[in-house]
Structure 1
Amino acid sequence: LMSPELDNTELAREADLLVQNFQKDGAREAGIFHHLITLPTYHTAALSTDILSEGYFGELGMLAYVRDVQRQEIRREQASVKHQDLAGSNIGDTHKEYFS
């Protein structure tokens, strides 16, 4: 079902329902809790990097990143926007303020 022409067919709807319930049904039948998070994580990272690189290394340059990534992170209030804080860089700033 990789062809867009099949997207609105009965076969596609059946396949989508099967895929949608795949993990839940398989885990239930096996009596375990399991998520295949590495599969979508790997592919989302690869796809988003490919899409970003088209603009970033094309005519848009840094605007491709700011428009398509950074602004979206900010608008969704994602913690990753402040990645320096997640790495602890704000701790030094806090200590400087406290001890001065």
Structure 2
Amino acid sequence: MIGWAALTPVSSRCVYAGVAEVSVYVDPEQSGKGIGLALLEELVALSEIEGIWTLQAGIFPENTGSLRIHEKAGFRTLGVREKIGKQNEVWRDTVLLERSSKTII
């Protein structure tokens, strides 16, 4: 497998039924070949067919490749969530990005 993409609901509350978190992973040996952007663009298209009006992504600040493909796919940076998670006992920040549908809203 060279990569995968998925959507996860952000909440079980009905008011957020059209909001999902995006996850995109590409085998590091395959990075830089456009696979991540292709997966993300397909995920965006499929999300709109399914009635998703807002997509969110949380990306580590040093993951510039992922930040770049999300921006190319129409995401905008909202800010940084400080110490939102722990990885190997180290607190991690993430950049919070969002994309609003142009066809649903």
Same fold at TM > 0.5: no
TM-score (norm 2): 0.22
Q: Using CA pairs below 8 Å that are at least 6 residues apart, which structure has the higher relative contact order?
A: 2
Larger Rg computed on CA atoms: 1
More strand per residue: 2
Q: Determine which structure has the larger helix proportion and give its number.
A: 1
